[in-house]
Amino acid sequence: TRKRQRYVEKDGKCNVQHGNVRETYRYLTDIFTTLVDLKWRFSLLVFILAYAITWLFFGLIWWFIAYCRGDLDHLEDHAWTPCVNNLNGFVSAFLFSIETETTIGYGHRVITDKCPEGIVLLLLQAILGSMVNAFMVGCMFVKISQPNKRAETLVFSSHAVVSLRDDRLCLMFRVGDLRDSHIVEASIRAKLIKSKQTQEGEFIPLDQTDLSVGFETGDDRLFLVSPLIISHEIDERSPFWDVSRHQLEKDDFEIVVILEGMVEAT
């Protein structure tokens, strides 16, 4: 048996890699989906950097305001009203930035009402911090709730078979769900991936053809509480109608089965 290169692996991963993509800026226009599609190690790195950079950036501005106002030169002057009480350097400015953005409020460092530029900066950091929280938490939630792990409990039969069923030749395979939580509005469809040459001589390397698995009768809508046998009838409309058994064993093609639905728990 010769090993064939698969279009889609058994675990559902596609073996298609995009090459020579010149308009890479399009990934940045949809930055949310780009972050969700990243691997976990890169997503965590972006998550950490997003907070660390904003804390450092605003910490630097808080320190710069204190430096320009002369607060750092009047640390021991109790008659002097600083922009932020008990801010004596960049480290304390960085800590105050973290307290402001995370709304911790330890009470040791606090802004005074004699610093209008500090009040404006406080408002800006509060608004930007809320935006960073919403964006990054939303990104992490979507990434955690992806159905990749749920799909591992959906089991397909190892082989598809061609056999008679109700005196009709059918291509059949089986699918089952291992979990007790049901998949709502489950539907299934099948695609035949095969090279094709048109009558005009055009060669299509990965042509996709639908295999009917009950769309006309509604049998493609599954009530997946027990293992089900999915059947494709080989009739005049089937791409396998003119294929012999010997040709079926030698021909180079692939059948991709797509099961879609919603998990009732999430």
Check whether 1 has a pLDDT greater than 60: no
Q: The tokens of 42 are what? A: 């890169």
Domain segments of the chain as ranges = 25-145, 150-263
The whole-chain average pLDDT of the chain stands at: 88
197-244 pLDDT, tens digit each: 888 888 988 889 999 998 888 889 999 888 999 999 999 999 999 888
| Rg, C-alpha atoms of the chain | 30
The pLDDT, as a whole number, for residue 2 is 58
User: CATH says 25-145 is which class?
Assistant: mainly alpha
Q: CA dist 109 to 54, 72, 105, Å?
A: 19, 14, 8
Identity of the residue numbered 223: F
Place of tokens 């059947």: 231
Top mean-pLDDT range of 151-160, 167-176, 196-205: 167-176
Cα 224 to its chain centre, rounded Å, is 25
pLDDT band at 8 (very low <50, low <70, confident <90, very high): confident
Residue 217 one-letter amino acid: T
Which is the CATH superfamily of the domain at 150-263? Answer: G protein-activated inward rectifier potassium channel 1 (2.60.40.1400)
pLDDT over 90 at 103, yes or no: no
pLDDT at residue 155 above 80? yes
pLDDT tens-digit map of 248-266 = 888 888 999 999 998 877 7
Phi and psi based region of residue 232 (left: phi greater than 0; alpha: psi -120 to 50; beta: remaining):
beta
Q: Do residues 100 and 58 lie in contact, with contact meaning Cβ atoms separated by under 8 Å?
A: yes
| Closest by CA position to 115, among listed 150, 70, 148, 158 | 70
Assess contact for 54 and 132: CB atoms under 8 A: yes
- Whether 3 has a pLDDT exceeding 70, the answer reads no
Query: What is the reported pLDDT for 250?
Result: 83
The residue with greater pLDDT, 28 or 109, is 109
Residue 149: what pLDDT?
Answer: 77
pTM here is: 0.69
- Report d(CA 14, CA 6) in Å as an integer: 8
Residue 187 makes CB contacts below 8 A (sequence gap 6+) with 220, 221, 222, 259, 260, 261
Residue type, 200: E
Q: Are 59 and 94 in contact (CB under 8 A)?
A: yes
